């Protein structure tokens, strides 16, 4: 079936380094994507989104890249900090901003001091 998945279940980086978290999606009809961050014991928190008519979007210290050719989404975190340690999920939807989200398996990011 159609699903959103992540390439790596865990990622460990040194504080100050850049982090790249990847996500592969299988439904070419998906047109809206979101990255969420979930800290232990909390609900997911929105980080950044991107529509399928874009290939890059930047936020504060975060950048999302979308490659529709290979159906790949990535989240780049610049100068990773200990507070970035969390599980990161990508989510996709069809029907633009009104569709229900389909979440992928998370990637656990650990930041070493």
Partner 1 sequence: EADIYQTPRYLVIGTGKKITLECSQTMGHDKMYWYQQDPGMELHLIHYSYGVNSTEKGDLSSESTVSRIRTEHFPLTLESARPSHTSQYLCASVEGGRGRNNEQFFGPGTRLTVL
- Binding residues for partner 1, rule: CB under 8 A, are 32, 34, 41-46, 49, 87, 89, 93, 96-106, 108
Residue 18 or 58: which CB sits closer to partner 1? 58
Pick between residue 48 and residue 65 the one whose CB is nearest to partner 1. Answer: 48
- Report the Cα 82 to chain-centroid distance in Å: 18
Least separation, in Å, of the C-beta of 42 and partner 1?
6
Q: How far is the CB of 16 from partner 1 (least distance, A)?
A: 26
* C-beta of 16 vs 96, nearer to partner 1: 96
CB-based burial of residue 98 (10 Å sphere; 0-12 exposed, 13-18 middle, 19+ buried)?
Answer: exposed
Q: What is the Cβ-side half-sphere exposure of residue 19, based on CA atoms within 13 angstroms?
A: 29
CA–CA separation, 49 vs 36, rounded Å?
Answer: 9
- Write down the least CB distance from residue 89 to partner 1, Å: 7
Given a contact cutoff of 8 angstroms between Cβ atoms, the answer to whether 74 and 64 are in contact is: yes
């Amino acid at each position: 079936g159609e699903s959103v998945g992540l390439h790596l279940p865990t990622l460990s980086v040194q504080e100050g380094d850049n982090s790249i978290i990847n996500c592969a999606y299988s439904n070419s009809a998906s047109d809206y994507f979101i990255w969420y961050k979930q800290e232990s014991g909390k609900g997911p928190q929105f980080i950044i989104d991107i529509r399928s008519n874009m290939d890059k979007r930047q936020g504060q210290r975060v950048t999302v890249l979308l490659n529709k050719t290979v159906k790949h989404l990535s989240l780049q975190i610049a100068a990773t900090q200990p507070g970035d340690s969390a599980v990161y999920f990508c989510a996709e939807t069809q029907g633009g901003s009104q569709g229900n989200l389909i979440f992928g398996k998370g990637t656990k990011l650990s930041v070493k001091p």
